[in-house]
Structure 1
Amino acid sequence: MRFKEDSIDSVDFILRKDEVLTVILGGGKGTRLLPLTEKRSKPAVSFGGKYRLIDIPISNSLNSGFEKIFVLTQFNSYSLNRHIHRTYSSNSINQKSFVEIIAAEQTVSSVNWFEGTADAVRKVLPYIREQKPKYVLILSGDQLYNMDLANFMQTHLSDPDTEISVASNGVSEEQIYGLGIVKTTEDGFIREFIEKPQDIHQVESCKQPNGSYLANMGIYIFNTKTLIEVLEDPGMTDFGKEILPKAIREKKVKSYVYEGYWEDIGTIRAFYEANLMLTDDVPKFNLYLEKTPFYTRPRSLPPTKINQAVVNKALISEGTILNRCEVHRSVIGVRQYIDQGTKIYDSVIMGLDNYGSFDRVHGKIPNGIGPDCEIRNAIVDKDCAIGTGVKLLNLHSYTEYEDEFVKIRDGIIVVPRHTTVPDGYSI
């Protein structure tokens, strides 16, 4: 593999395709993102109006020239598998490239499902070996970032002694408790790794001169030989908790500091804020960069129709109909219908999989959001039917609450998928 300058365009694409295999971890149960993950995995959750979270790592890999991709799936995988199949079929990208799903399976040698991040990769080693990669790039399926992974690879290759590279990102003291924190030497090699510290004193020696801490992003490059070696012990099931702490004692493990935006979508609050951030004038995570587009399923939908509506700082996806309503600092998904007199503020409306009827038939509430509603600080999942005069406001400032129509998590109102909210409902 040969690299010249820092630019993606200067990389030898032919050799890179042959020697690098990307493995994307399809996520665990995602319990902290319930109810959005009640019937789908985290990477399958809608994001930014028209995307799924899985589109982010796949697009990063494709944009960087790494076009041989395995996606490992297990929990609530139907929606994710279907999206990947519809979006990244061999007909839509170069025939020599692929995005393939490897679902958890029972075999003669193992009757157990994936039991952790490292165990998932261990169980698919036979398929990795078939591709004969020199390097394996491991990505998480539920994070937001726009990274030139070719530069990451170039850093990995800059020192021939490097066996493992770990992408890291500077985080504040408040963020360290749910992440793995690394301490590096002056030449960038990791000499200490603390997974999800319980006390600030555990990571005092890891503090950077600017006051931040370097957090493991869950993005790795392994020399394939090294990957096979570190996965030999079947009792070690997780990269962060077990594989990396041992590897830094026995292998040459280097840190690659990524200074751009990175968000681990772990909670309802994090998901909500990441979506609304997209409405900023210049968002930290920018969907409007021509050289690094984010791919998703192509849809043959009509243009958005805006009929005397007020729209301010909002993302409005294709096929949407806004009828004499107001939308402020919100993300509106595909096919969404919003009726007259309704006001939406600071909310994520995920859209509809099909239009259905916009007219009431025998009193039935149609898909979409009815007239004279007010929705604030909410997430409305896909295919919901919101009746007339519904008020989703969290008037009592609940942090946690639920009834048959809504669930409040982290102070955010969530309307679960396929929910019908009756006329006049208020919270």
Structure 2
Amino acid sequence: MTSKVISIVLGGGQGSRLAPLTQTRSKPAVPIAGKYRLVDIPISNCLHSNINRIFVLTQFNSASLNKHIKNTYHFSTFSTAFVDILAAEQTPTSAGWFQGTADAVRQCLHHLAVHEFEYVLILSGDQLYQMDFEEMIAQHIEKKADISIATIPVHVNDVPGFGILKTDENNLITSFIEKPKSGFENWVSEVSDEMKAQGRIYLASMGIYIFNRKLLYELLEGNERTDFGKEIIPESIEGHKVLSYQYEGYWTDIGTIPSFFEANLGLTDDIPQFNLFDKNHIYTRARMLPPTKISGTHLDRSIIADGCIINASLITRSIVGIRTRVGLYTTIDSCYVMGSDNYQTLDEIAAAKAAGEPIMGIGDRCTLRNAIIDKNTYIGDDVKINCGAKLPDGDYPTHTVVDGIVIVKKRAVIPNGTVI
């Protein structure tokens, strides 16, 4: 069954809502949980669902994503499996960037044509969830659907942020509206008793689609429709059999800084909604790093990745990413520290200290709260970040503030004694 499926992961646009994390990398390449990348989530869901022919579509800042894909997803020489990057490219028929989700798939159809498949699974590259796509595909085939849309029940307060649909008693989608601001009170759908008890009575599109091959080509070729949610799906409901696959597990769109921050810190809960320790674990690049070394640190509800050297006093409800150095008497509270791509040598560390300059990582006697520390940053001694009143939003040379969250930019140098 899944041998007839090809998957397309949409890398998204410029990712401006995740700035400054997307200033030098594409959205799917943003690090998550200290050791993974966002793109690892949909790819891992595919691989656990026995779907192993995957294209990742991207166009902005794709170098780090290309490197990650190349170094991570290796298959047997005798296998037909692949995870390939398809970047926006100029061709005789298309000279521009991807103009939307549908346009991105349209411009890449010629790359799919050389493969044998009957169904196309289209996924987003900026969501956190664990789903068995085999069940969705099986329902699609059994019900003889033309299009299937994964849906999730949402609360009335969340409706304006999603594409909302209504279904009949056979789970066929009868109507669809993109991000309604009002007038959606009659759009209540049939959901489970558990969802009703939570007030989640509206069905939202998760941006996960299955198309029959022939229909996908028909819908995309010979027209200029650019978006699945705004154009393709609403216009297909009347003339085609569009099926809802209702999912009630954990799912979140992490396209903004606050949602990204909360999704990461949520992983430190005693029983997180997204379970990194599930049998369907997340695949990522295999790094040959030493184990983490911790001295004199009180750790509480925190995740510490490989290769760290930590001498902090207290780390609570935080994620500390790969190769992170943390100095003596430092406190880290509710932070996501992404880590580093390499280590400084002992000679480099000694030279920096002799010159009174910060070393890569976090120095001595620092206090960090409600912050995201991007990769390869140099935070000096006695630095305080977000320790006072809520900071106003703003963008500065070394950091950005969004909704009270301080994001220290990649490779930023924060001198000794700085207060942010």
**1:123 equivalenced with 2:111 (yes/no):** no
**Cα distance 1:154–1:312, how it changes in 2: closer, same or farther (>3 A)?**
same
CA–CA distance in 1 between the matches of 2:68 and 2:212? 30
Residues 368 and 387 in structure 2, CA contact (< 8 A), matched pair in contact too: no
What is residue 265 of structure 2 aligned with on the other side? 276
Residues 376 and 393 in structure 1, CA contact (< 8 A), matched pair in contact too: yes
Instruction: Give aligned pairs, total.
Output: 408
What is residue 344 of structure 1 aligned with on the other side? 332
Return the match for 1:329 from 301, 317, 326.
317
Q: 1:7-406 maps to which residues of 2 (within 5 A)?
A: 16-17=2-3, 19-90=4-75, 95-160=79-144, 162-199=145-182, 201-206=183-188, 210=196, 211-212=199-200, 213-290=202-279, 292-356=280-344, 357-359=348-350, 360-393=353-386, 395-406=388-399
CA–CA distance in 2 between the matches of 1:226 and 1:361? 66
Query: Which SS does the other structure have where 2:187 is aligned?
Result: helix
Instruction: State the shift of 1:336 in Å.
Output: 0.2
Instruction: State the shift of 1:402 in Å.
Output: 3.4
Instruction: State the shift of 1:95 in Å.
Output: 2.6
**What amino acid maps onto 2:164 in structure 1?**
I
Task: Give the fraction of aligned pairs with identical amino acids, expressed as a percent.
Answer: 48
Q: Which moved more, 1:26-35 or 1:209-218?
A: 209-218
CA–CA distance in 1 between the matches of 2:154 and 2:43? 24
Report Cα offsets for 1:292-347 as digits up to 9, x if no partner.
Answer: 11100110100000111111110000001111431101000000000000000011
Residues 394 and 413 in structure 1, CA contact (< 8 A), matched pair in contact too: no
Residues 59 and 294 in structure 1, CA contact (< 8 A), matched pair in contact too: yes
CA–CA distance in 1 between the matches of 2:17 and 2:87? 23
Instruction: State the shift of 1:143 in Å.
Output: 0.6
Q: Which moved more, 1:81-90 or 1:44-53?
A: 81-90
CA–CA distance in 1 between the matches of 2:165 and 2:295? 53
Query: What is the RMSD computed on CA atoms of the aligned residues?
Result: 1.4
Query: Which SS does the other structure have where 2:184 is aligned?
Result: helix
Query: Which SS does the other structure have where 1:237 is aligned?
Result: coil
CA–CA distance in 2 between the matches of 1:398 and 1:248? 46
**What amino acid maps onto 1:318 in structure 2?**
D
Residues 387 and 424 in structure 1, CA contact (< 8 A), matched pair in contact too: yes
What is residue 408 of structure 1 aligned with on the other side? 401
CA–CA distance in 2 between the matches of 1:317 and 1:399? 31
CA–CA distance in 2 between the matches of 1:394 and 1:187? 54
Residues 72 and 285 in structure 2, CA contact (< 8 A), matched pair in contact too: yes
Instruction: State the shift of 1:205 in Å.
Output: 2.3
CA–CA distance in 2 between the matches of 1:94 and 1:295? 21
Runs of 4+ in 1 over 6 A off after TM superposition: none
Residues 197 and 203 in structure 1, CA contact (< 8 A), matched pair in contact too: no
**Cα distance 1:196–1:399, how it changes in 2: closer, same or farther (>3 A)?**
farther
Report Cα offsets for 1:200-224 as digits up to 9, x if no partner.
Answer: x235323556232111101011110
Report Cα offsets for 1:334-376 as digits up to 9, x if no partner.
Answer: 0000000000001100000111144414222110000000001
Query: Which SS does the other structure have where 2:270 is aligned?
Result: coil
**Cα distance 1:203–1:53, how it changes in 2: closer, same or farther (>3 A)?**
farther
Query: Which SS does the other structure have where 2:56 is aligned?
Result: strand
**Cα distance 1:64–1:175, how it changes in 2: closer, same or farther (>3 A)?**
same
Report Cα offsets for 1:217-240 as digits up to 9, x if no partner.
Answer: 010111101111111243200000
CA–CA distance in 2 between the matches of 1:405 and 1:134? 49
Q: Which runs of 5+ in 2 are unaligned?
A: none
**Cα distance 1:267–1:159, how it changes in 2: closer, same or farther (>3 A)?**
same
**Cα distance 1:203–1:297, how it changes in 2: closer, same or farther (>3 A)?**
farther
CA–CA distance in 1 between the matches of 2:8 and 2:354? 48
Residues 333 and 351 in structure 1, CA contact (< 8 A), matched pair in contact too: yes
CA–CA distance in 2 between the matches of 1:172 and 1:95? 44
| TM-score normalised to structure 1 length | 0.93
CA–CA distance in 2 between the matches of 1:366 and 1:170? 47
Instruction: State the shift of 1:96 in Å.
Output: 2.3
